[in-house]
Structure 1
Amino acid sequence: MEDILRPIYQERASQANTLGVLIIEKKQKSIMTTDTFDAVLLIIVKEAEQPVFIKHYTYDEKKAALHIVTQEQLNKWLLLGSNRKVFEWLYIGKILFDRNEYINDLRTELMEFPFHGRKIKMGIEFAKLIRRYTDGKAFFDNRNYLDAYNYVVHSLHHLARLAVIENGFHPEVTVWDQVKQIEPEIYKLYEELVSSEESLDKRLELLFLASEFLIHSRTKVGASHIIDTLSEKSSWTFNEIMNHVELKEYSIDLGVLIEYLIEKGLVKINNVETKGQGVYHRNYSAEKLS
């Protein structure tokens, strides 16, 4: 397949904008890695009009996919974990072209998982966990048990990913296999939720209690990134927090996370007077992590 696709990737490799080219070929037992295609060509470029461009090819009853991705988009996927397949492609793909060792350096960085990168990923994962847990609890309190179940499954997934990141690994391939080895307590919770013979409301009730303890025990780790960022100055408006370069990726989960951290005493509200009688601007500041 590589020989057949050579003219396609060689043309791209000759362009100064191209940083690297990988080919990922379908293995019999891992058809999902390539989304059923016989091969995927991943081309990473410095910049492009579209952050992601995909083209499909066919040859002798075989099919291939070409993915051209900008460096910025790739970095976003790696930070957010929003395209887990790309981790696998970077790990197992065969390097066909590598400008200035770009892909090799990227692989090394992924293997070493620098601490600052881990802190950001833990923060984003923790924010998602709090959002799912809070919404799930609200559904449970209103006796919407099926909706609560859906949110609890997602919150456990984020808790599992947080535990994997905390232990220095990328949770991008087989999360529950990783968690079974690293944090069996979380795996057991998940197992009890999906396979217990208790009634759904009873399962959820027990799970919320257990989850609350596990979330509380990880609050300082999960909140470390946002607290460190908020410590850069004494007071913030929510808009300033939302638009901070490192906090933008917390996205819609940021508001719920701030309220949770206020409840836990890690963020303080500072009321600033407005022109309106008895109306205050609500600013925020970080309390030191003990």
Structure 2
Amino acid sequence: MEDILRPIYQERASQLNTLGVLLVEKKEKTTLTTDSFDVVLLIIVKEAENPVFIKHYTYDQKKAAMHVISEAQLEEWLLLGTNRKIFEWLHHARIIFDRNEYVAKLKTELEEFPFHGRKIKMGLEFAKLIRRYVDGKTLFENKQFLDAYNHVVHSLHHLARLAVIENGLHPELTVWRQIKQIEPEIYKLYEELVNSEETLEQRLELLFLASEFLIHSRTEMGSAHLIKVLSSKEYWMYNEMLNEEELRPYSVDLPVLLEYLIEKHVLEVVNVETKGQGVYHRCYRVNKKLS
């Protein structure tokens, strides 16, 4: 298959805009990594009109996919974790072309997982965890047990990913295999939720009690990135946070995270006068006892 694809990737490699060409081949007995394709050709470019461009090919009863992605899109995926396959592709791929060792340096950086990058990813994962946990608990209290169950499964998944990142690793597609070795306590919670013979209500009640401690114990670490950014000013209006480049990735999870951190006395509310009598701007600052 590589021989057949060579003219395609050689043409791309000859373009100055191309940073790297990688080849990911399907492993035996699994199609998870390559989305059922025999080969994925990953081409990273400096700039592109479309951040993602995909073509599919067939040859001799085999399938191949070509993904052309911009450097900016790749960096977004790596930061936000919104395309988890990209980590496996970069890890397992064979480098076909590498301009100025761009791909080699990228793979080294991913393996070393710099601490600053970990702090940001932990913050984003913690925000998603709090969103799912809070929404799940609200649904549980309203006796919407099936919907609560869905949120709890997701919250455990984010807790597992957070623990993996905390240990200096990137969460893989098979995150529960990782967490079984790294944090068996979280794995056991997941098993009890899924396999217990107790009623769904009883399972959820026990899980909320157990996971509350696990979440609380990670609050300082999970909020470290957010606190570092917010500490740069006396206080912040909400819209200022939305427009702060380092905080934009928190997106829709930010309001719930802020309220959780206020409840835990990590953040404080500051009321700033408006032109309207008795109406105040609700602003936020880091608890001065923590500074």
Same structural fold, with TM-score higher than 0.5 when normalized by the shorter chain: yes
**What is the aligned partner in structure 2 of residue 238 from structure 1?**
238
| CA distance in 2: counterparts of 1:134 and 1:173, whole angstroms | 25
Corresponding residue pairs, total: 290
Q: Is the 8 A contact 1:231 1:286 kept in 2?
A: yes
Alpha-carbon shift at residue 172 of structure 1 (Å): 2.4
| CA distance in 2: counterparts of 1:287 and 1:96, whole angstroms | 51
> Which runs of 5 or more residues in structure 1 are unaligned?
none
**What is the aligned partner in structure 2 of residue 87 from structure 1?**
87
Amino acid in structure 2 at the alignment position of 1:110: L
| CA distance in 2: counterparts of 1:232 and 1:31, whole angstroms | 47
Alpha-carbon shift at residue 253 of structure 1 (Å): 0.1
Alpha-carbon shift at residue 80 of structure 1 (Å): 1.0
| CA distance in 2: counterparts of 1:40 and 1:171, whole angstroms | 21
| CA distance in 2: counterparts of 1:57 and 1:164, whole angstroms | 36
- Once the two structures are superposed, the pairs formed by residues 270-281 of structure 1 within 5 Å of their partners are 270-281=270-281
- Once the two structures are superposed, the pairs formed by residues 105-120 of structure 1 within 5 Å of their partners are 105-120=105-120
| CA distance in 1: counterparts of 2:58 and 2:99, whole angstroms | 28
Amino acid in structure 1 at the alignment position of 2:254: L
**What is the aligned partner in structure 1 of residue 34 from structure 2?**
34
| CA distance in 2: counterparts of 1:230 and 1:273, whole angstroms | 21
**What is the aligned partner in structure 1 of residue 207 from structure 2?**
207
| CA distance in 2: counterparts of 1:96 and 1:197, whole angstroms | 52
Amino acid in structure 2 at the alignment position of 1:240: E
**What is the aligned partner in structure 2 of residue 160 from structure 1?**
160
SS in 1 for 2:10: helix
| CA distance in 2: counterparts of 1:179 and 1:100, whole angstroms | 36
Alpha-carbon shift at residue 242 of structure 1 (Å): 1.3
Please give the root-mean-square deviation of Cα atoms over the aligned residues, in Å.
Answer: 0.9
Q: Is the 8 A contact 1:227 1:287 kept in 2?
A: no
Matched, 1:144 2:159: no
SS in 2 for 1:34: coil
> Which runs of 5 or more residues in structure 2 are unaligned?
none
**What is the aligned partner in structure 1 of residue 266 from structure 2?**
266
Per the normalisation by structure 1, the TM-score is 0.98
SS in 1 for 2:181: helix
SS in 1 for 2:40: strand
Amino acid in structure 1 at the alignment position of 2:218: R
Amino acid in structure 2 at the alignment position of 1:170: H
| CA distance in 2: counterparts of 1:207 and 1:62, whole angstroms | 46
Alpha-carbon shift at residue 30 of structure 1 (Å): 2.2
**What is the aligned partner in structure 2 of residue 60 from structure 1?**
60
Provide, for residues 202-254 of structure 1, a one-character-per-residue CA deviation record: whole Å limited to 9, x for no partner: 00000000011110000000000000000011111101111111110011000
Per the normalisation by structure 2, the TM-score is 0.98
SS in 1 for 2:236: coil
Amino acid in structure 1 at the alignment position of 2:127: A
**What is the aligned partner in structure 1 of residue 43 from structure 2?**
43
**What is the aligned partner in structure 2 of residue 126 from structure 1?**
126
| CA distance in 1: counterparts of 2:59 and 2:180, whole angstroms | 42
Matched residues, percent identical?
Answer: 73
SS in 1 for 2:57: strand
Alpha-carbon shift at residue 68 of structure 1 (Å): 0.2
| CA distance in 2: counterparts of 1:203 and 1:58, whole angstroms | 48
